[in-house]
Structure 1
Amino acid sequence: MNFRKQIFGFAALMALLVPTSASWAAGFPERTIKMVVPFAAGGSTDLVARLVADKMSNLLGQQIIVENVGGAGGNIGAAQVVRAEPDGYTILMGTVATHALNPLILKTKPYDPEKDFAPVSLLVIVPNVLVVNPQFPAKDINELIALLKKNPDKYVYASSGNGTPLHLSGELFKTMTGLTMEHVPYKGSGPALTDLLGNQVPMMFDNLPSSSGHIKSGSLRALGVTTKERVASFPDVPAIAETVPGYETYSWNALFAPAGTPPEVISTLQQAAAKALQDPEVVDRMGEFSATIVGSTPEQLSEHVKAELAKWAPIVKSSGIQLD
């Protein structure tokens, strides 16, 4: 699950992906664009979407409105975009959940992650983190493992929804440690964080961007990041892999349009996204939570989706997760 070579390959091409002067598709856009975020407001995907949409709006000369369509682990929002007119005016902020995990986990497939979408650009790779309410007794991963062994089935963990990478982060942790804890799915990180902060749930796996402010303020305690190594923005937070060797998960955000969207429109959206990711404010904000900026071509995103499906298939199979 090591993605560093791929990331660095994409990053090295960034200068080549963005032209010195924008050559937007003739006549596009002529009106407001809707960017569907398939999760509730307040989570990592929502945060990335609003940052990028704001900068893309300035570049394109038309407003990009972010619309949160949560539920079913991202499937409801993604399916809505599949049904939209393929004209570039409805686009999706996709994730590893919408384009890798859900298609592998669901018995009934609401869409094909490759055939039903036109890739635009892989935007960022995002670390995940295991956070707990400050009242939770465990202070680190070793203490958590000891607590769960002593109290099997007593504790639950929250995530942004069934079949999301955060859900799978928890299931992988359970599998690799032999521990048991019940999963509580939400319609996005935002509502889950609200309950975690209120101590309605004791812990959750979250994307680092949406939890970073709470970690810094002390309203949440980070037990470990899910990447193989520690992240630059939180050097004092250990990687879970330091205690559970081989453990690694991460998330990503990418733009997709409905299949059949004209190539020149895809090109315009890709160019605007790539330039938006180079904006100093976006670079600084992403750096605050160690998100790796990519800004790929449509072709690279297509290959990335294929690779993610191949990577997650055996993990999903071994976890035994199947959803209706």
Structure 2
Amino acid sequence: MKKRVISTLLVGAMVFSLAGCGTKQEAEPEAPAPAETTEKADGDAAAEETADIAWPEKTINIICPFSAGGDTDFNARIYAEKLTEILGVNCIVTNVTGNGGATGAQQVFDSEPDGNTVLFYHDALYVNNVTGATEFGMDGFELACVAGKNAGNVVCVSAKSEYETLEDLVEASKNGNVTFASNVGATTHVMGAMMNAAGANFNLVDMGNASDRIAALMGGQCDAIPNPLGTTQQYLDSGDFRALCLLEDERNEHYPDIPTAKELGYDASFPIYYFFAFPDGTDQAIVDKFADACEQVSNMKEIQQAQFESFSQSPFFAKGEEAIALEKEQQASVEALRDMLNQ
């Protein structure tokens, strides 16, 4: 049954591409104040106005800056399928790869702000900016929403490795002989820099994307990798890889035996949030209508099940000021490592 749900979602999403947390209910106050009543009325009016805008009328092109098959592409495609149903126009995913995600981001940045092109990316946007791959961060876009969060990046070594613990790996790195695979200019570059700032001395070597890093570890070309939990779970379950830590603030509920780096005394945590963003200057009514549609998708049980089964993700969604504040915090974390990222 689980395979059927995932297969249906992905096949549907690919068809559209080729053609071009649970929320707690709050009890209502017994006697709402007049100001609260007015605010609610204003909100209803704004929602009606947003729903009435003459958009969309054309295909919406969702640019994913990474290749097909990864976690970012997966999330983009399952959203695209359901957004097509909700918005009434084809929503297709186009993979525009290169330069650690900067090429795809640049394409959306250069697009007309007409609501027909939207970026589906994550916090590598800020790494691109800090390392000079782009001249913009979120200031070059209109953030629609944060549409998900990956399950966390786990630092893995081969099961044959001499390093049994994170402390073993860090201590060995102080002699300069530990190769830590990362994608220079992307989020794993930040993670390696964070570990070095926390006391390690890893040799940060660019070994490509998540799949490339797995192949490198399997082939003995590196000592450790920081990969999304969803891409490494099969190797952890099979016993090919050994997990040393999770680079998150809290343990993953589905892999509770993997400690966080923070628990082990290393201040290194960088959660990855997926977001939708339109070119700067896009009508706010379009941005809001799209965000509302995305929220509907996020609350769908079949979407949540597919995310969990494929990449161990738990539901996550934020829009408006909450999303903006979250992304500002992510940007600040990257900017604090500017010097290390540009070494």
2:172 and 2:342 map into 1 onto residues whose CA distance is 28
* Structure 2 unaligned residues grouped into runs of 5+: 1-20, 27-39
User: 1:145-224 maps to which residues of 2 (within 5 A)?
Assistant: 145-149=170-174, 152-159=175-182, 161-186=183-208, 188-224=209-245
The reply on whether 1:268 has 2:289 as its aligned counterpart is yes
The reply on whether 1:314 has 2:339 as its aligned counterpart is no
The reply on whether 1:134 has 2:159 as its aligned counterpart is yes
1:20 and 1:218 map into 2 onto residues whose CA distance is 51
Deviations 1:130-182 (A, max 9, x none): 12233333232133234434xx33332222x2232211111221232242323
1:255 and 1:247 map into 2 onto residues whose CA distance is 26
Given that 2:207 and 2:216 are in contact with CA atoms closer than 8 Å, whether structure 1 keeps it comes out as no
* Structure 1 unaligned residues grouped into runs of 5+: 1-7
Given that 1:11 and 1:293 are in contact with CA atoms closer than 8 Å, whether structure 2 keeps it comes out as no
1:137 and 1:53 map into 2 onto residues whose CA distance is 44
Given that 2:124 and 2:187 are in contact with CA atoms closer than 8 Å, whether structure 1 keeps it comes out as yes
Report what 2:127 is aligned to: 101
The answer to which of 261-270 and 191-200 deviates more is: 191-200
Q: TM-score, normalised by structure 2?
A: 0.77
| 3-state secondary structure, aligned to 1:115 | helix
| 3-state secondary structure, aligned to 2:136 | coil
Q: CA RMSD in A?
A: 3.3
Following superposition, the deviation at residue 121 of structure 1 comes to: 0.3
1:22 and 1:287 map into 2 onto residues whose CA distance is 35
Report what 1:112 is aligned to: 136
The answer to which of 168-177 and 284-293 deviates more is: 284-293
Greater Rg over alpha carbons, structure: 2
Given the alignment, which residue of 281, 290, 298 partners 2:302?
A: 281
One-letter amino acid of the counterpart of residue 91, structure 2:
I
Report what 1:90 is aligned to: 117
Q: TM-score, normalised by structure 1?
A: 0.81
| 3-state secondary structure, aligned to 2:137 | coil
The reply on whether 1:241 has 2:262 as its aligned counterpart is yes
Deviations 1:251-306 (A, max 9, x none): 11110011122222212211111111111122234445564534222443333333
Residues 219/209 of structure 1: CA separation in 2 closer, same or farther (3 Å cut): same
1:281 and 1:139 map into 2 onto residues whose CA distance is 38
Given the alignment, which residue of 283, 306, 318 partners 1:296?
A: 318
1:196 and 1:217 map into 2 onto residues whose CA distance is 15
Report what 2:3 is aligned to: none
Aligned structure 1 segments of 4 or more residues deviating by more than 6 angstroms: 10-14, 16-23
Given that 1:286 and 1:292 are in contact with CA atoms closer than 8 Å, whether structure 2 keeps it comes out as yes
1:22 and 1:12 map into 2 onto residues whose CA distance is 26
2:25 and 2:191 map into 1 onto residues whose CA distance is 30
Report what 2:83 is aligned to: 56
| 3-state secondary structure, aligned to 2:190 | helix
Residues 30/215 of structure 1: CA separation in 2 closer, same or farther (3 Å cut): farther
Whose RCO is larger (CA < 8 A, sep 6+)?
1
Given that 2:50 and 2:285 are in contact with CA atoms closer than 8 Å, whether structure 1 keeps it comes out as no
Residues 264/182 of structure 1: CA separation in 2 closer, same or farther (3 Å cut): closer
Given that 1:114 and 1:302 are in contact with CA atoms closer than 8 Å, whether structure 2 keeps it comes out as no
Following superposition, the deviation at residue 43 of structure 1 comes to: 3.0
1:85 and 1:275 map into 2 onto residues whose CA distance is 26
Report what 1:124 is aligned to: 148
2:233 and 2:275 map into 1 onto residues whose CA distance is 21
| 3-state secondary structure, aligned to 2:57 | coil
| 3-state secondary structure, aligned to 2:262 | helix
| 3-state secondary structure, aligned to 1:84 | coil
Report what 1:5 is aligned to: none
2:92 and 2:244 map into 1 onto residues whose CA distance is 35
